[in-house]
Amino acid sequence: MRVGFVGTGTMGNPMARCLIDAGHQLTVYDVRRQATTNLCELGASWADSPRAVAESSQAVFMSLPGPSEVEQAVLDPDIGILAGIPPGATIIDTTTNSPTVSRRVSSICRGQGVEMLDSPVSGRPPTMTVMAGGGQAAFNEYRPLLEAMAGNIFYLGESGAGCITKLVTQYLGYSNFVTAIEGLIIGAKAGVDPGMLAQVVPVSAGASRVFDNIPRSVLNGEFVSGGTLDIVAKDLHLACEMAREAQAASAIGNIADNVFQRGQAMGWGQEGFAMAARVLELMAGVELRSEFPQETHGYQQTDPRHPGGPQGEQQG
């Protein structure tokens, strides 16, 4: 199938590679042409705009930083996808996007005979999770493309449902991260070594996949994590905005949102999202540093660049 891909950064690039490996004819575009170099070496064709990608594709994927980039890439009257995509084709947006923006763009596309699936992702190809919303007929038709890059694929309902689901998972993951760090700080200030706490928590009621990455991302003082603080702050803020629009309680998320915004204000936006822990350390006047054994009972250590809770994916 002739497939386009707009946005071949940290997440988009491996997804695009999966499509090439599956035998599809790929046309690619990214604002940084160098981000497409490896794909072109594998047989993809370069296009100089999203519109040019769309003109040669039956389906166009997007993996972009956020809502404003999606609107521009699709709706720009001169170089946008919608200006070039033929009626009957489909746009598949893997961006972590605002449900409101996604629905609006989808409605405009549908008015021109083009379907749009909001299909944000979690994890890393080829075993990642896809959360899809939009027309079910389009989802069924293009599911084989999703299967080339994902191990878990869910159809959630009409336009915006995929975005809602992804924001819920981000809300849970990153709010949990902030809560876990606060718990360690409470224990440390009360007199228990955080390294010992980090051994107890995974075999107690406080266990979580998010917590399991803290020893290698925080206790050693390196704050290594997959996604940047800027990307996580964007996702969490979108989730809290969604909660307000839905008139749903989001007290814990609002606190976590504030922590990540403080990290941005301190100039750490391009650092790993684990720098949010440093914000909390500074607020509490304590550092969570401790030796931690490589292996301990009940504890499953994972690579902090690909954490099991907050997925650490960075798009664009």
Residues serving a catalytic function are 166
Residue type, position 276, single letter? A
